[in-house]
Structures are given as C-alpha cells and as structure tokens.
Amino acid sequence: MKRWILSGILAVLALSAHAQLREAWQYRFPEQGSGQVAELRRALKLADGGLLLLGAVETPLNAYDAFAIKLRPDGTPEWTLVQDGALLDDAFVDAVDVSGFGYQHLYLLGQFMNADGYLRARLYRVDAGGQVQQMLEMPADAPNLHYRAVGLVWDEQDEAVGVATERISTGESEAQLFTVYADSGTLHPVSQRVNQRPWGVARFANPFSGLVLGTRGTFTGWVDAHIHKWVGAPELFSGAVRGFDVPVIGYTVPGRGAVVGIHSFGGTTGDDIVLLFYNPNGSREWAYRYTSAYYDDYLLSMAHDAQNRLYALTTSVLWANDRLEQVSMRLLRFSPNGTLEQDMVVPTGHTSSRGLSLRGVLGINAAGQPIVAYAHPPFLTRLTRAGSVLWGMRLPMEPQALFVEPQGALLVAGSAFPEDPHAEARYLLVVKYTPSADLNGDGVVDDADLLQVLLEFGTEGETVADLNGDGVVDDADLIAVLFQFGS
C-alpha cells in the first residue's frame, strides 16, 4: 500500500511539472465569509458565450433555495435569480437556451417543496436580463403526490418545451411528461403518463425534441432500460443475461443525434457499459457493449470531436470491496458508426488504490486531444491522441463540468471545500484557464520558450508548443509567447 501511495504522489508531481495553463479569472458563490452551502446541479454554455449555473443555496430560514446565475465571458455575473418554495429543498436542475431559435429568453426547470411537504416541478421563462416573465407549476393529479423535476427538451417545430417529471406516490414511481406550448405568450401544459421511472433526458437536434431515459421493472424482478421518445414508439433494452440495465447519461451530438449510456449487468463480466446511438428521427443507428478486463465498468462522461467520433470516459473496478481492490480510469474512442477505435488508461497516478471513487468529466479540443478533469485529487490534464500526458495541473475544486473553448481556453466548474472544515461550508467555484506560454515550467516566459516555439514553428502534431491545441504550431502560438514575454 505504501508503494502504491508513493507511486501516486510521484505520478501527480510528474504531471504537475508541465502545466500549460494560467488562471484568467475565477467566480465563487456564495461570497467568502457567508458560511452558506451551495450545490451545483447543472452548468450549461449559452449561445451568447455566457455560462449558466444552476443549483441550490443554503439559507438561514428554510434549508435550500433554487439559484440560477448567468456569467459573462469575462467571469462577472450578469444576473442572479434566487427562488424559494414554501418549505425545504428547492433547486434549479435544468434549462434550455432558445435564443438561437429567434427567441430572447431561457426556460428554467426547478424543483420546489410546497407548504404540505410535497415536491412540485416549476417551469420559469426568464428574459435576457434574468427577469422572470412567467412561472408555471406542473399540475398535480392529487395533492399528496411528489413531482420530482427531471429535465427539459425543446421542440422548435411546435414551439414547445418538453418537461419530464417523476410522479411519486406510495410505493410507485412513473414518468409524468408535460408538453408546454408557448403560443401567444401563454404557457399551456399538456401531459401524458409513461410507465417508467425517469432518470434523465437526451436532447435531439430539431425537429424532434428528444428522449426520456428511465427504467421499468419486469415480472421476474429485473430492471430494463426504457427509452421513451417524444415522437415515435418507446424502446426497451435488456442485457443478454438480464439483470439491471439503468440509463445514466444522455449525450447530444449536435446535428447527428443523441447517445444513451447504460450501466448493464453482464453476468461473469460484472457491470458493463452499453452505448445506444439514436438519430434525430428517433431511430437507433448503432449499439455497443463494452467490458474491460476488469470486473465492473462505469460510464462517467462523454464528448465528441470535429470528425463526429465519440469519446467515453469510464472507470473500471477489479475485485470490488476486496482488500486488493484496484480502480482505474479509461478513455474509449468510437468511430461515427460505433466501432471501438481506442481503449486506453488515463494516467491519474491512482491506478491501484483501494476504495478510490474516481469521478471525472471530459472535453475534446480542436486538435482532437482529450482534456480530462477528475477528483481525488482534483486534477486537470491534457492528453495526446495516443493517451500520453502533455501537461497536468492541480484544480482548486472537485470538477463537475468542463467546457473547451476556442483558442485553447478551458472553463471548469465544481464544488470547492475550505482547507479548514470548520471555517466555511462547501461553495461553487468556476475557473477559466488560458494557455500559458511558460513552456519549460521555469516560472517565466523567456528566451527559452520563444526559441522552442520558433524551432517547432509549422510543426503539425502534438507538442506543448501548440499552446491553443489546434494541431499546429503557428502564428497564434508565437503571438501568445510574445504577449506573455517576461511575465
């Protein structure tokens, strides 16, 4: 065990020595000194370049209120919206940005507790300045039911928002779906009930809105994945050996469709990962079942590159709950037609740590290089397409969302904890990183860094001199060194 811990520390130090980023700005919520807890539920990149943060913030009177914060590209808050229910546990959980479809507003989905202690789902229409234009609470069949907010989709053709909720009664759970038509500035809910327990949604490109991902029990006691289509017939997925098949991630590939990631029991192979790709018409184009040499495999995050190849970040566990338990993080790459092209281990420095819970998020830059942010310890690394490390650095938070921007900038959002656990509570932190021209890591951008860029100028491929990650050392990289020279 000591050898494993030492190996992990050395690996992290080796990665940290060549970090090629510098902090441009950071945003913290709540403010330092407030002592309040904030939980990030969702982060979305908006059409105007801003960042939308959704979640719950602790209040001194009634536990948690729902918050939505829009950040400008420079990291300053453009507006903050806080909404309170009658009792406890309120939160914004999802949003859709319809500004790219000729509108000037957002739709926010919130979960609120009424005065009787029952959850209700609310849809908010918010203008560009963060002002609430309309609020609609999804109607309940009976007063003693919970309606848990699950997710939103947008249907441009019908100018409607699809709202997925979980209708919970004593011993029963099923999906209650609402189609909210936004004609004439009035929200009109139309609902349908689906025999599934909803877990999330996957959005399509237009004209069809998307999928509701859930599970359905069988007469034999197993659980099947149930994919409900807003347009088209639903689909059940059952593994060959039966067992528990649970959809965990819905990922949108713009212009091509959506991918559903399922955790599926595979018998002798333990828990496997199943990927199902659906085109915008709701038809399944391909499916792939992945199992590693390890016993259990779990899906963490997905991303795609400019060639429409799909990437999946996973974690694999060997001998779970045993004293010899080993955990590793892996990266899979699939062709546009669903062929597995690459399966590699992500170097985290913790490939053999018992009880380690690996969590991570994934992004792909313009050169097709994976950017991985993970926890334990919080770390950010840029890999080559072959899987070797170009650089790595420690993060000040446990990452929950990662956005790769043009020119190599990165946005990372997550939960941060104070060093003194008694000083303050957990808070939300967003940091923007831009490429650093300190190529050799000596703390200053000097002649050595400029010389390295000049020597590699015009080189195509994967090198630290390619600061913005566009696949070639060019004028943009040289200008970055000149602007940062001496700093």
3-state secondary structure the chain: CHHHHHHHHHHHHHHHCCCCEEEEEEEEECCCCCCCCEEEEEEEECCCCCEEEEEEEECCCCCEEEEEEEECCCCCEEEEEEECCCCCCCEEEEEEECHHHCCCEEEEEEEEECCCCCEEEEEEEEECCCCEEEEEECCCCCCCCEEEEEEEEEECCCCEEEEEEEEEECCEEEEEEEEEECHHHCCEEEEEEECCEEEEEEECCCCCCEEEEEEEECCCCCEEEEEEECCCCCEEECCCCCCEEEEEEEEEECCCEEEEEEEEECHHHCEEEEEEEECCCCCEEEEEEECCCCCEEEEEEEEECCCCCEEEEEEEEECCCCCCCEEEEEEEEECCCCCEEEEEECCCCCCCCCCCCCCEEEEECCCCCEEEEECCCCEEEEECCCCCEEEEEECCCEEEEEEECHHHCEEEEEEECCCCCCCCCCEEEEEEEEECCCCCCCCCCCHHHHHHHHHCCCCECCCCCCCCCCCECCHHHHHHHHHHCCC
**What are the residue boundaries of the structural domains of the chain, listed by start?**
31-194, 437-487
**pTM for this predicted structure:** 0.86
Confidence at residue 205, expressed as pLDDT on a 0 to 100 scale? 65
Geometric angle at alpha carbon 400, from 398 and 405, rounded to 5°: 110
Take residue 153 and report the two structure tokens written for it.
């989709």
Domain 437-487: assigned CATH number:
1.10.1330.10
Separation CA 437–CA 174 (nearest Å): 54
Rg (CA), the chain: 23
Separation CA 6–CA 243 (nearest Å): 39
Confidence at residue 2, expressed as pLDDT on a 0 to 100 scale? 38
| 23: Cβ contacts below 8 Å, ≥ 6 apart | 431, 432, 433
Strand partners, 278: 258, 284
Confidence at residue 132, expressed as pLDDT on a 0 to 100 scale? 94
Separation CA 65–CA 393 (nearest Å): 34
Confidence at residue 220, expressed as pLDDT on a 0 to 100 scale? 72
Would 31-194 and 437-487 be classified into the same CATH topology? no
CA distances 47 to 100, 128, 209, 223, Å, are: 7, 12, 18, 38
Q: List the chain residues with pLDDT less than 70.
A: 1-19, 62, 100-102, 183-186, 205-208, 221, 231-232, 294, 321, 349-357, 419-424, 436-450, 453, 455-458, 460-471, 474-487
Confidence at residue 87, expressed as pLDDT on a 0 to 100 scale? 75
Separation CA 330–CA 273 (nearest Å): 12
Is 481 exposed, middle or buried (CB count within 10 Å of its CB: 0-12, 13-18, 19+)? buried
CATH for 31-194, among 1.10.1060.10, 3.30.565.10, 3.40.50.300, 2.120.10.10? 2.120.10.10
| 185: Cβ contacts below 8 Å, ≥ 6 apart | 134
Geometric angle at alpha carbon 208, from 100 and 172, rounded to 5°: 115
33 sits in the region (left: phi over 0; alpha: psi -120 to 50; else beta) called left
Confidence at residue 468, expressed as pLDDT on a 0 to 100 scale? 63
pLDDT digit string, tens, across residues 325-366: 788 889 999 999 999 999 998 887 654 555 556 789 999 988
Phi first, then psi, for residue 449 (nearest 5°) are -70, -40
Confidence at residue 17, expressed as pLDDT on a 0 to 100 scale? 41
